[in-house]
């Protein structure tokens, strides 16, 4: 009874964070069950916890291959964890309440508002319904198109299972696969249909549900909200620039460069061995992974809007004009939050990379930095060092994945009280630069 009352009084952000942690732990326990593991495979608790965290945080980093270690039941558990992680614990919970015909209370609406990162209660239930319907449509479409490819190499039932799993993983920006042998999508690097289908799912899953709804409603770029314009233009810029830079630094096809540019924005699928990339190519991927997807989406990173606001502020300082874009001013609160998110994210990456350098001295710096940024951006790309990490190294990556999914800003702010200031101080300049 005490626990229930405590949870009812808990701030929404803190409750959502604990909800994610509870789902991760439950998923790890389910993956440890004998029915989840192939008879000739071994799964330690740290590997089950790593897999569950990676799935719920829609990352895709794997310490053990999902197909080689987990039965169809275990693979289904991973798929469900990815779906919960992508939509959010609260959205799934509200969806289940709506499915049973029950009314969603004020507390549930407050949690849904916090989880979907919207400013108002108005229409929150309609928004949840739209999100769930959109997810179903995109994933069904992705499964059908993927099935056309996989049926050529697998029996009907197996191809169907792979297609559904792949569509869920792609739309939720999680780079898991069940092809086996740690191959990811390398066998299909030249398959145009699968590459474009996967890229499409990643892009739509990564731009955010609010942006998709805004586009469907307005059907004109000029009429879109400022947020939608920022997300779309920044996403296009990152995809194009990433494609050009990867093509310039790596010996890969234009299709491969485009796919990896899209995937690096938090999906984590790979059609080429990332461990074979040059340091320049890895650095390009690191930048894309750190920026990540967009707010209110299934992806991670500091988010495209954060990156846009910071860059626009730098531009406004040089041209000595107010911070604005698309004939709209950007509020000081947005600017402050953008810098805080960026600095906190850099802090998490720096601390985690230092710890990994201490714990995994046999790996190179660029490999460890890549692994940490991939975990923080909930991407899932790896140079191939993940299975060989020590239990302590895996634990660090688990914490980074969790932080990246919840958000460094959210994790810090939800535990800090905000007392009203009882004094005002005079302003004095500080020399900068």
Task: For residues 141 and 253, give the distance between their C-alpha atoms in angstroms, rounded to a whole number.
Answer: 26
For position 268, what pLDDT does the model report? 86
CA nearest neighbour of 94 among 61, 59, 124: 124
Helix (H, G, I), strand (E, B) or coil at 329: strand
Return d(Cα 377, Cα 345) in angstroms, integer. 9
Total structural domains in the chain? 1
| 193 lies in some domain | yes
Contact between residue 175 and residue 268 where contact means Cβ atoms under 8 Å apart: yes
Distance CA 83, CA 77 (A): 10
Written as one string, the DSSP assignment of 358-370 is: HH-TTS-HHHHHH
For residue 70, list its beta bridge partners. 37
Q: Residue 293 has what pLDDT?
A: 86
**Separation in Å, CA 391 to CA 49, 181, 354, 378:** 11, 22, 16, 20
- Report yes or no: 272 and 362 within 8 Å, Cβ to Cβ: no
Bridge-partner residues for 324, per DSSP? 329
For the cut 70, the answer to whether the pLDDT of residue 209 exceeds it is yes
Q: Taking residues 270-292, what's their average pLDDT?
A: 94
188 membership: H or E segment, kind and range: none
Q: What share of the chain in percent tops pLDDT 70?
A: 85
Asked whether residue 2 is domain-assigned, the answer is no
> Which whole number is the average pLDDT over 208-231?
87
Q: Is residue 81 part of a domain?
A: yes
Nearest to 115 by CA among 90, 96, 97, 94: 90
Q: Is residue 156 part of a domain?
A: yes
Cα 391 to the center of its chain, rounded Å: 23
418 is a domain residue? no
Q: Residue 118's pLDDT is what?
A: 62
R_g of the chain computed on alpha carbons = 21
- The pLDDT value given to residue 334: 87
- pLDDT of 254 > 90? The answer is yes
Q: What is the DSSP string of 203-229?
A: HHHHH-HHHHHHHHHH-SGGGS-HHHH
Percent of the chain clearing pLDDT 90 (strictly above): 56
Average pLDDT of the chain?
86
Question: Is 424 within the bounds of a domain?
Answer: no
Query: How far is residue 320's CA from residue 369's CA, in Å, rounded to a whole number?
Result: 36
Q: Strand, helix or coil at 252?
A: coil
The mean pLDDT of 5-26, rounded to a whole number, is 75
C-alpha to C-alpha distance for 13 and 11, rounded to whole angstroms: 6
What confidence tens digit (pLDDT) does each residue in 340-397 have?
999 999 999 999 999 999 999 999 999 999 999 999 998 989 999 999 999 999 999 9
- pTM for this predicted structure: 0.89
Distance CA 91, CA 182 (A): 32
User: Is the residue at 272 inside a domain?
Assistant: yes
Give domain status of residue 427, yes or no.
no
Point out which residues pair with 328 in neighbouring strands: 325
What domain range is 362 assigned to? 8-413
Residue 424: other Cβ atoms inside 10 A: 6
Strand-pair partners of 329: 324
Report residue 287 as tokens.
Answer: 């930048």
């Amino acid at each position: 009874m005490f626990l229930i009352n405590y949870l009812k009084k808990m701030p929404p952000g803190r409750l959502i964070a604990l909800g994610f942690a509870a789902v991760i732990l439950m998923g790890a326990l389910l993956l440890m069950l004998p029915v989840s593991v192939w008879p000739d495979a071994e799964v330690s608790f740290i590997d089950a916890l790593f897999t569950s965290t990676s799935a719920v945080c829609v990352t895709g980093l794997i310490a053990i291959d999902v197909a080689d270690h987990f039965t169809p039941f275990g693979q289904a558990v991973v798929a469900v964890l990815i779906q919960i992680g992508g939509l959010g614990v609260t959205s799934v919970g509200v969806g289940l309440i709506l499915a049973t015909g029950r009314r969603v209370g004020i507390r549930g609406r407050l949690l849904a508002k916090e989880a979907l990162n919207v400013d108002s209660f108005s229409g929150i239930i309609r928004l949840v319904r739209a999100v769930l319907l959109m997810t179903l449509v995109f994933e069904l479409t992705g499964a059908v198109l993927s099935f056309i490819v996989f049926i050529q190499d697998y029996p009907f039932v197996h191809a169907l299972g792979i297609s559904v799993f792949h569509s869920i993983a792609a739309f939720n920006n999680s780079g898991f696969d069940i092809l086996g042998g740690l191959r990811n999508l390398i066998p299909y690097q030249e398959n145009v249909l699968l590459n474009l289908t996967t890229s499409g799912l990643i892009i739509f899953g990564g731009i955010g549900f609010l942006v998709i709804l805004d586009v469907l409603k307005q059907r004109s770029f000029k009429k879109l909200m400022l947020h939608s314009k920022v997300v779309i233009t920044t996403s296009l810029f990152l995809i194009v620039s990433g494609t050009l830079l990867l093509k310039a630094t790596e010996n890969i096809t234009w299709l491969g460069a485009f796919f990896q540019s899209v995937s690096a924005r938090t999906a984590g699928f790979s059609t080429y061995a990332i461990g074979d990339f040059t340091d320049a190519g890895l650095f390009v991927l690191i930048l894309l992974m750190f920026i990540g997807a967009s707010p209110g989406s299934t992806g991670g990173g500091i988010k495209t809007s954060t990156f846009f606001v910071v860059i626009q502020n730098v531009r406004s300082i040089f041209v000595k004009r107010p911070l604005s874009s698309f004939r709209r001013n950007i509020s000081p609160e947005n600017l402050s939050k953008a810098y805080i998110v960026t600095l906190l994210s850099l802090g998490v990456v720096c601390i985690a990379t230092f710890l990994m350098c201490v714990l995994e001295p046999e790996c190179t710096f660029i490999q460890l930095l890549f692994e940490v940024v991939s975990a923080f951006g909930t991407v899932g790309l790896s140079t191939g060092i993940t299975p060989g990490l020590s239990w302590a190294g895996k634990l660090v990556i688990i914490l980074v994945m969790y932080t990246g999914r919840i958000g460094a800003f959210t994790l810090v702010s939800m535990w800090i009280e905000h007392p009203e200031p009882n004094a005002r101080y005079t302003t004095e300049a500080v020399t900068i630069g």
